[in-house]
Amino acid sequence: MQKIFRSLMLVLTFWLVACGGGGGDPGSPSGGGAGQQAGTLQLQIISGGSDASEVTYSITASERAARAKVLLKNRGGEPMANIIVTFSETGPNLLKFSPESKTALTNLKGEAEIDLEPLSATSIGATTVTATASLPNGDVTGSQNLQITSAVVEGVDPQLVASALNFVSVDPSDRSIVIAGSGGNNRSESAILRFKVVDKNGDPVKDVRVNFAAVPVNAVTLNIPTAKSNADGIVTTSVSSKSTPTAVIIRAEVDGRNIVSQSDQLTVTTGIASAQGFDLSASKYNLDHDLSGDSSIVRIGIIDANGNPVSDGVPVIATTDFGRVGTSGRGGCTTSNGLCTVEYQVQNPRPADGRFVNVAVSTQVGTGQQISDSLAFTVTSVGWLDLYDINQSSIVGEFAPLSWDAKCKATYEGFIGTPSRFPAPSGTSIELKSGNDVVAANVRSGSPTLDRVFQRNRVSFQFELKDALSPGQTSIEVKFSVNRTTYSVFKTINYPACTPV
């Protein structure tokens, strides 16, 4: 019975050996025929120089001396030489291999290796390194997971690893914030500043304490006086404006080290609109009643109490009692560099003689206070015009009294305008035409009429006699023209006999 048992055990042992039973390398999947391993491939990541042999599962972003090393054996456990091994990364593309072919040839010991390093200073995370060799009986593969961290390694004080501190950016990118209380659309009262901590190789360092200070000290409110760098070496602080315009620099220093940097200059300006800084002007003030669409561009300028233009985007509302102002999309305008414009146009309803057109413009500051002002325009017709005497007491019917000089010349001073003492439309031309060849009539001054006049326009006419052998009388046509509209009034002139000296 014992002989039979021993025989069965021998048969079972032989069957297990023949089938390759008894386990295998979990990191090196089998290849070749069913149930048989083509060989084994063991992959290890080595950190350090060519003499180093310590296996690692983590390297830093600044690591420059890491190697992927394989040991290749056949299924009999013997080293395999002169076999090409191909390396690859199965992960988020964090590594760079050298040589770039990612291949190496095994030596007599069955060993092959390749250098590897992080692709960049920001290549941080976890990945997998894989090696594959093609054997006569099939492929064998080995792999190892690898963590890539920032420059700090366990057990090393990150404060000591830090070598430099660089200013990176500020938000807003124009390095300008507004005075406290004047924030709003596209206007920020705070700024975020970023610095980067790096080691001697220029790679990021994590968990470095950095202290911040404002220069001048009380120029802004420093919201984060101390912070730690993240995995990318970035450390962030923020500041908020106060009520005074200023320029400030943020100083950053690695805690306990003489490693210092500073930001670009940050400006604090543009407060809320002030009533004293609300300015209106127009391109034309005396408009043509008869021309629909005759227009004037109204300029709105807004500054704060410090004389700085308010921030972009301040809404301005414009209204009028006659005609139209603004556009269908916007009844007013929004500021850019403290300025914006609206267009006023003549149309129905139109004012009667003696009625000003008022364009009212307003904005509202953050406190709820409304700031407003208005411009007055005249909208008159040349059909309302006539010639008035020098005292503006009556309409001129006859050019009198006239004083003729030795050259038979006389000058008449008066005003043209409407019955309600309004001026002619801006740019109105005045022509004189005599009823005979004895009297020559010309406009000395006042044509064309000027703009920004809020009373009748002053004019000066000159008359000259030619071959006035006897006294006489004739008519003088006074013709007003603007924008292709004309209107005439007729006056009388009496003249003496006169021979020029």
Using DSSP, state whether 306 is helix, strand or coil: coil
Residue 302: CB atoms within 10 Å:
23
CB 70 within 8 A of CB 91: no
Q: What is the DSSP string of 449-501?
A: PPSS--SPEEEEEEEEESSB-S-EEEEEEEEEEETTEEEEEEEEEEE--B---
**pLDDT score at 252:** 97
Tokens 């603004």 sit on residue:
326
Q: Flag whether pLDDT at 327 surpasses 50.
A: yes
**pLDDT score at 306:** 82
CB-based burial, 131-140: b 16+ in 10 Å, e otherwise:
bbbebebbbb
Q: Flag whether pLDDT at 209 surpasses 60.
A: yes
Q: Of 428, 440, 434, which is closest to residue 386 (Cα–Cα)? A: 428
Q: Flag whether pLDDT at 23 surpasses 60.
A: no
**pLDDT score at 305:** 82
**pLDDT score at 366:** 63
Q: What is the DSSP string of 33-44?
A: STT---EEEEEE
**pLDDT score at 15:** 35
Give the residue-averaged pLDDT of 34-51.
79
pTM of the model: 0.61
**pLDDT score at 21:** 35
pLDDT digit string, tens, across residues 340-365: 999 999 999 999 999 999 999 999 87
CA dist 51 → 42, 103, 146, 200, 225 (Å): 19, 21, 21, 24, 46
**pLDDT score at 261:** 95
**Selection from 136-140, 223-227, 239-243 with the highest mean pLDDT:** 223-227
**pLDDT score at 33:** 45
Of 188 and 408, more confident: 408
Of 170 and 331, more confident: 170
Give the residue-averaged pLDDT of 278-296.
97
**pLDDT score at 149:** 78
Q: What is the DSSP string of 272-304?
A: -EEEEEEEEEES-SEEETTSTT-EEEEEEEEEE
**pLDDT score at 19:** 35
Q: What is the DSSP string of 104-118?
A: EE--TTSEEEEEEEE
Q: Flag whether pLDDT at 44 surpasses 80.
A: yes
CB 298 within 8 A of CB 357: no
- 3-state SS of the chain: helix, strand, coil percent to 5? 5, 50, 45
Confidence of residue 62 (pLDDT cuts 50, 70, 90): low
Give the residue-averaged pLDDT of 179-199.
84
Write down all domains in the chain, each with its CATH number in brackets. Answer: 25-149 (2.60.40.10), 158-269 (2.60.40.10), 273-380 (2.60.40.1930), 383-495 (2.60.40.10)
CB 211 within 8 A of CB 224: no
Give the residue-averaged pLDDT of 375-386.
98
**pLDDT score at 202:** 85
